[in-house]
Amino acid sequence: MSKYIVTGGAGFIGSNIVAALNARGEDDILVVDILGKDEKWKNLVGLKFADYMEGDAFRLAVQQDALGKVSAVFHMGACSATTEKDASYLVDNNYRLTRELCEWSLHNDARFVYASSGATYGDGAQGYSDDDEVTPTLEPLNMYGYSKHMFDLWALRNGVLNEVVGLKFFNVYGSREDHKGDMRSVVHKAFGQIQEEGVVKLFKSYNADYKDGEQVRDFVYVKDAVDVCLWFADNRRASGLFNVGTGTSRTWLDLARAVFAALKREPQIEFIEMPISLRGKYQYHTEADISKLRGVGYNAPMTTLEDGVRDYVQSWLSAG
């Protein structure tokens, strides 16, 4: 059986993990996903892996303990749509399946690295600390965030976080996100808007503390997110729940200007109305506290927004 399993392996972060493993000379990889009818399959083109399984067949293999010996499982597979309304589906797909795979991994001594989310922090009123005593107090704003939070809570209550790694990704952008539709990063959307209309459209602010475009996020380049995943697979002594971001918040205006700069064009930015359905669930400020990540020994520098956007735009988006 495969040395590595990557669920969501045709998705955004998952396919970049496969690419990074390939760069290490590793191709003994089982890729798991649900390819469906969209263009996600294109993320697999050019990657090297031993086998592919659809999600339902893989889940059955997990339940039947039929996967053999595996070194590490990167569980990136989930429904990541923050607008998904089917709560039952999210509970089964993002919580129950994650629990089944985690229990299988522990039983088979496979390193388990799973994707949690910065969405578990809700509006950020309680801060962005990944300390265990803070986790039970969090109140996500949408069902996607809550489905991720459910597994974090289960892992914490049952002592599982002493053996596995949960990564709370903040706003990840980068290569192989083309298939994500409305869930694409604003970097990707801004690039397309500039190519088509010459402008970037940002949501107006509905919070008096933030001017239009000055809402802030912690934008993390996918190469850094993947590097953290691989580091934890290599360092089994470090376990727990960790934020994955740069530790520095930046404005949407900073991001838009970085895209224009990468294209060597003067910024043209417009502000548009935010859909009413989003206004009560909108995060105006996120910033990962990465002191816990640094404390366990991950010392690699995080890519700045300007450097990450430049690399993404020039080496990937502009290259088609």
Is residue 168 among the annotated active site residues?
no
User: How, if at all, do strands 111-115 and 165-169 pair?
Assistant: parallel
Ramachandran region, residue 135 (left: φ > 0; alpha: ψ -120 to 50; beta: rest) = alpha
| DSSP of 226-241 | HHHHHHHHH-TT--EE
Catalytic residue among 3, 180, 204, 281: 180
User: How, if at all, do strands 171-173 and 216-217 pair?
Assistant: unpaired
Within 10 angstroms of residue 45's Cβ, the number of other Cβ atoms is 7
Catalytic residue among 4, 114, 121, 144: 144
User: How, if at all, do strands 4-7 and 29-33 pair?
Assistant: parallel
Report how far residue 262's alpha carbon sits from residue 306's, in angstroms, rounded to the nearest whole number: 8
The pair phi, psi for residue 305, each rounded to 5°, is -60, -45
The pair phi, psi for residue 291, each rounded to 5°, is -65, -35
Is residue 221 among the annotated active site residues?
no
Say if CB 267 and CB 256 are below 8 A apart.
Answer: yes
Report how far residue 19's alpha carbon sits from residue 10's, in angstroms, rounded to the nearest whole number: 11
**245-260 residues labelled b (16+ CB within 10 A) or e (exposed):** bbbebbbbbbbbbbbb
Please list the active-site residues: 144, 180
